[in-house]
Amino acid sequence: MKTIDDFNFKDKKALVRVDFNVPLNGSFTVTDTNRIEAAKPTLIKILEDGGSAVLMSHLGRPKGQSNPDLSLEHIVDTVSQIIGVKIKFVDDCVGKSVENAVAALQPGEVLLLENLRFHAEEEAGDATFAEQLSKLGDIYVNDAFGTAHRAHASTTAVAQFFPDNKCFGYLMAKEIEAIDKVMETGEKPILAILGGAKVSSKITIIENILDKVDHLIIGGGMTYTFVKAKGGQIGDSICEDDKMDLAMDILKQAKEKGVEVHLPVDVLAADDFANDANTKVVDVDKIPDGWQGLDAGPKTLDNFKEVILKAKTILWNGPVGVFEMESFAKGTIAVGKAIDEATQNGAFSLVGGGDSVAAVKQFGFENKVSYVSTGGGAMLESLEGKTLPGIAAIIGE
């Protein structure tokens, strides 16, 4: 796996695919700078070597049309502040004006190109468009894990024009290593904590990781499909009735492979899907009609904590309750605290997937786990065992 440490960028122009698809508010101010900060170490290495950087990214979904609201010009000042270098900007990403701006770039300078997705050819993975992009650098660096599962021109097709001069940036390398630690080289016992609403969205992940893990905690809304499949009463809790056979099959597969599955034993049930609903703790398989399970119960959390503290490698994907409502956030917070404690005791912990990442940020666990993945869809596809196009393009698979 080639990383930027395998190259010296002195007097070289690095064409860097970053993921600056950041949220903007009504006045076009960046409201979450994490993705820009994540790219900083890669850019600093290039500049300190004596090279220059040409940055390409998308923003939003302009669908191949120019859209001033989605111009990357809005983020130039923020990127300049974070990187510590005045960033130059050009109002397109291919063509003569762009090539001239790149030619004028001096060592130590950074140029940000306009939104790649203003061109339909980007999402189409168009080779001619990719070749135009390839003229803008001597070395191609992919540091955009969040888009690594997309076979787009800037993430995949462009790499073929740099047969010997392509590599991962630090962020991509860290993401690949973190997933590898869980899926391939993790110290046992290995634990996966899967939450979220639906079994259907996690099937391929569960089936893929059953060969890798020793313990599987199932929480969140998908609990109730398993409980109902086993004959329990789940009241008005969310359930995928058409996935009950699958749930039983997963339990059977786990048993055959020697994986211990830990389901909730009690839940915090509510008489309405609302923060101010009446609540009570009930057994997970005895939820009364008119009530629905919205968070893990105290006995469940004790059980989960015990399993988490024994684990040496932990993957957390998905909350164990409706954490967006304060009344039903206690379970997810408790799981976060247990993972924090396990991590302090030497376990490796990886958090990935949109909702669990949102939860660790919201409750302040971001710096208390070993690694928080920056790529939702890319992370999930990695856990499903797929080779991501953006990674394959660099390692030559």
Known binding-site positions for substrate: 19-21, 35, 58-61, 117, 150
The H-assigned helical ranges of 71-126 are 76-83, 96-103, 120-124
Q: How far apart are CA 74 and CA 56, in angstroms?
A: 14
Residue 238 phi/psi, 5° resolution? -60, 140
96 among known catalytic residues: no
221 among known catalytic residues: no
Q: Which of 64, 108, 232, 377 is catalytic?
A: 377
Q: How far apart are CA 88 and CA 85, in angstroms?
A: 9
290 among known catalytic residues: no
Residue 75 phi/psi, 5° resolution? -105, 0
Q: Which of 12, 13, 17, 35 is catalytic?
A: 35
Q: How far apart are CA 60 and CA 67, in angstroms?
A: 10
What single DSSP character describes residue 50?
Answer: T
Q: Which of 354, 361, 368, 385 is catalytic?
A: 354
Q: Which of 2, 40, 64, 198 is catalytic?
A: 198
CA distance to 268, 285, 363, per residue, from 229 (Å): 20, 10, 33
198 among known catalytic residues: yes
Residues forming beta bridges with residue 139, ordered by sequence position: 14
Q: How far apart are CA 272 and CA 358, in angstroms?
A: 24
Binding residue numbers: 19-21, 35, 58-61, 117, 150, 202, 293, 324, 353-356
Residues forming beta bridges with residue 282, ordered by sequence position: 267
**Which residues are identified as catalytic?**
35, 198, 354, 377
